[in-house]
Amino acid sequence: MIDKKKITIDEVAKRAGVSRQTVSRVLNHRPDVSRETRKQIEDLIKKLDYHPSAIARSLSSKKSYTIGVVTAGLKFYGPSRTLSGITQGAEELGYSLLLKELSSFGANNVYPLIQRIKAYHAEGIIWAAPEIGDNRKWLGDLLSEINIPIIFLTMQKREDISIVAIDNYLGGKLATEHLISLRRRNIGHISGPLDWWEACQRKKAWEDAMASAGLPCEKRMWAEGNWSSKSGKFAIGELLTNFPEMDAVFVGNDQMALSVLQSAIERGIKIPDDLAVVGFDGIPESEFYSPSLSTVYQNQDELGRLAVQELIRIVDDKLQNDKMVQPHQIMLKPELIVRGSTQAR
């Protein structure tokens, strides 16, 4: 490794025969530099391959162009897809990302984490971890103390915080009403873990849609999974036992729906004739299930991008007005995709 001495703004200034300040002006595209000086310095910067230290800049300018992202469960489809949208959004707006993944979904001890993000002078935080149980409890205590713009993804609407969420309730309605429209009357549900906000919303939508249609909706008609295919296997087994007349089922996500299909094949249940199935998420693979799966698509990429845009908007506003912007709640609409599992070819 060559011992290329780290070059700094002072080095550039010295070689150019100008003050450090003039170089800084060129760096920041300030107008008050003569054409020739600017040209000369730009050339020199290129020649020396000089790159200013973002850290020193942050320290003295109070602008870090960095945002903190708190996520959880990156091994799952949803969170990583959302993160992908966030990286795109950040890239487009020229921001860097400081990434933290919660070690468990339920983590409630978030204050140190937030402080570690603030230590890097991040300008804001995107909270991309799902809302589960009381893992938003800290909001009440800390929100006012945090003193950094923060935007939440996919949680229960609250007027006092900024949220970008996918309308899970609407998604559940779309799924259930679709099954009702197919003249199914005995519609079961396999939910996600009910301490998850998203799972709750989907289940509630199922209940409400059933009630609206004048259909029954009792305990034996639903079972709780944990999003994994394995849990879906157990859940469908339970339903087939307790609710044998079931002729349709709305499953809380595509992974669990996959094992519903597997169980159906093993037991000789015909889909969609004997049992119509709708999933949730719209993962690419769902089209290639056997039969291909009807599902509710949520655009998590878009969710991530929007979150970045919204956060930056808040940051910029705060910079200008020196006071907190009115929080904003944005809801994205999911879409029903009808495929073979609810509709014979």
Partner DNA sequence: TTGAAAGCGCTAACAA
Partner DNA sequence: TTGTTAGCGCTTTCAA
Residues lying near a second copy in the complex (CB under 8 A): 1-2, 4, 51-56, 58-59, 64, 69, 74-75, 77, 80-81, 83-84, 87-88, 91, 96-101, 103, 115-116, 118-121, 144-145, 147, 228-230, 232-233, 255, 258-259, 261-262, 265-266, 284-285, 287-290, 292, 301, 323-324
Residue 166 C-beta: closest distance to a second copy, Å: 16
Strand partners, 297: 281, 335
Contact present, 225 and 256 (Cβ < 8 Å)? yes
Residue 47 C-beta: closest distance to DNA, Å: 16
Residue 150 C-beta: closest distance to DNA, Å: 20
- Residue 15 binds DNA, judged by CB under 7 A: no
Q: Which of residues 48-67 bind DNA (CB under 7 A)?
A: 52-53, 56-57, 59-61, 63
DSSP for 117-183 reads: HHHTT-SEEEE-SPPBTTTTTHHHHHHHHH-S-EEEES----TTSEEEEE-HHHHHHHHHHHHHHTT
- Residue 31 binds DNA, judged by CB under 7 A: yes
- Which residue in 263, 244, 272 sits closest to 184, CA to CA? 272
Partner that binds at residue 31, options a second copy, DNA, none, CB closer than 5 to 8 Å by kind: DNA
User: How far apart (Å, rounded) are the C-alpha atoms in residues 118 and 145?
Assistant: 12
Residue 119 C-beta: closest distance to a second copy, Å: 4
Number of residues that bind DNA (CB under 7 A): 29
Contact present, 258 and 229 (Cβ < 8 Å)? yes
Partner that binds at residue 330, options a second copy, DNA, none, CB closer than 5 to 8 Å by kind: none
Residue 115 C-beta: closest distance to DNA, Å: 11
Partner that binds at residue 284, options a second copy, DNA, none, CB closer than 5 to 8 Å by kind: a second copy
Nearer to DNA, 111 or 212 (CB): 111
- Residue 261 binds DNA, judged by CB under 7 A: no
Nearer to DNA, 39 or 270 (CB): 39
Cis peptide before 291 (omega within 30 of 0): yes
Contact present, 54 and 42 (Cβ < 8 Å)? no
What are the angstrom distances between the C-alpha of 317 and each of 95, 245, 308?
A: 16, 57, 14
Pick the binder of DNA from 15, 20, 118, 158 (CB under 7 A): 20
* Cα 265–Cα 267–Cα 273 angle in degrees, nearest 5: 65
User: How far apart (Å, rounded) are the C-alpha atoms in residues 105 and 116?
Assistant: 19
Q: Tokens for 51, please give them.
A: 């790159």
Partner that binds at residue 212, options a second copy, DNA, none, CB closer than 5 to 8 Å by kind: none
Contact present, 146 and 238 (Cβ < 8 Å)? no
**For residue 221, what is the DSSP state?**
G
Edge-first strand order for the sheet with 248-251 is 222-224, 187-191, 248-251, 276-278
Residue 181 C-beta: closest distance to a second copy, Å: 26
Contact present, 185 and 215 (Cβ < 8 Å)? yes
- Residue 6 binds DNA, judged by CB under 7 A: yes
* Cα 32–Cα 34–Cα 35 angle in degrees, nearest 5: 125
Residue 1 C-beta: closest distance to DNA, Å: 17
Partner that binds at residue 155, options a second copy, DNA, none, CB closer than 5 to 8 Å by kind: none
- Residue 37 binds DNA, judged by CB under 7 A: yes
Partner that binds at residue 43, options DNA, a second copy, none, CB closer than 5 to 8 Å by kind: none
Q: Which residues sit at the interface with DNA, rule CB under 7 A? A: 6, 8-10, 17-22, 24-25, 27-28, 31-34, 36-38, 52-53, 56-57, 59-61, 63
